[in-house]
Structure 1
């Protein structure tokens, strides 16, 4: 099944490397550039990736609202993009950012602060 691709100005050589899901999306794992802390996971289509690469602001596709959103546009908790890398399978992006304020919509620093399911004991 071929994933739908919305019109985009993404460089064709980059677009050709992407393996999109059935909705034309690629997972974007977002990480703080200096601490390497994982902040959140978002979704990008070709146009969101194009906007991210050309503006330096993290732009995502909202699956619930079916629209683009720039992180921090309304909250002020902006993400300034430092780098974008594609994994070996072409289906996941690693976006390193300089995060201003909270990354999570709940106000937590990361989306992974609240629900720790397992914490391994420290080696002695």
Structure 2
């Protein structure tokens, strides 16, 4: 069976790359599940969402929090280009909890900090 060639990058670094069986990402138009053979797609990532990657080698699923950016699929290649990205196993959970508390205490109309804090916790395996 064919696999996907996946790259998850941010301006600072390559977050993850490799072969995968499936990728799930949230765009502003909804959640997309990508399998080999998927039609070409270009989408805008939902800021403060989680990308999930199922590695082809059967390893542990990869989860990452992503900020704004783009998601593209063409010829079994998936590119996730995020302004901000962080692997779930690299997230400082106490820091993410503090960020969520700060965002909830803020009276501002911008919900981005809260969405990003919640996404960091979800990527780390904690429902918030």
Which band: TM-score by shorter chain?
0.3 to 0.5
Q: TM-score, normalised by structure 2?
A: 0.39
Q: Which entry has the higher C-alpha Rg, 1 or 2?
A: 1
Task: Select the structure that is richer in strand.
Answer: 2
**TM-score in terms of structure 1 length:** 0.40
